[in-house]
């Protein structure tokens, strides 16, 4: 386990420059995707996942109808899960509100009970 270096060290400054470069690259990727007329735009409100022998299949749905599927390597799937989890945690921390999961909502709607009490 490595400790984070103080920002005042040359190594810490290099880490900070690398972090800033990555953020700039990500921002450029996002901006490019938003401005592109050639990329399909999807909205999904549910999904199904399946673990294969070499990858993960994600079936994306909108109102119960499959609209797309995506196969990703285990590494990309884990990285995506960590990044999405971090984004949602940031949102929850900043707003002071916990985002309900689909599973939480489904359980509450099926049981007709207060899911928060369970």
For residue range 79-117, what is the model confidence (pLDDT) as tens digits?
Answer: 999 999 999 999 999 999 999 999 999 999 998 656 555
For residue range 51-70, what is the model confidence (pLDDT) as tens digits?
Answer: 999 999 999 999 999 999 99
> What residue spans define the domains of the chain?
1-40, 42-117
| Per-residue model confidence (pLDDT) at position 116 | 55
DSSP secondary structure letter of residue 99: P
Is this prediction's pTM over 0.75? no
């Amino acid at each position: 386990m490595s400790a984070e270096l103080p920002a005042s060290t040359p190594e810490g400054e290099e880490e900070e420059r690398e972090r800033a470069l990555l953020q700039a690259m990500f921002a450029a990727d996002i901006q490019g995707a938003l401005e592109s007329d050639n990329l399909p735009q999807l909205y999904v409100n549910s999904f199904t996942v399946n673990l294969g022998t070499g990858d993960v299949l994600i079936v994306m749905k909108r109102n119960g109808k499959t609209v797309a599927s995506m196969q990703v390597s285990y590494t990309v799937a884990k990285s995506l899960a960590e990044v999405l989890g971090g984004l949602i945690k940031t949102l929850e921390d900043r707003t002071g509100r916990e985002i309900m999961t689909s599973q939480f909502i489904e359980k509450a709607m099926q049981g007709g009970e207060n899911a928060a009490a369970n």
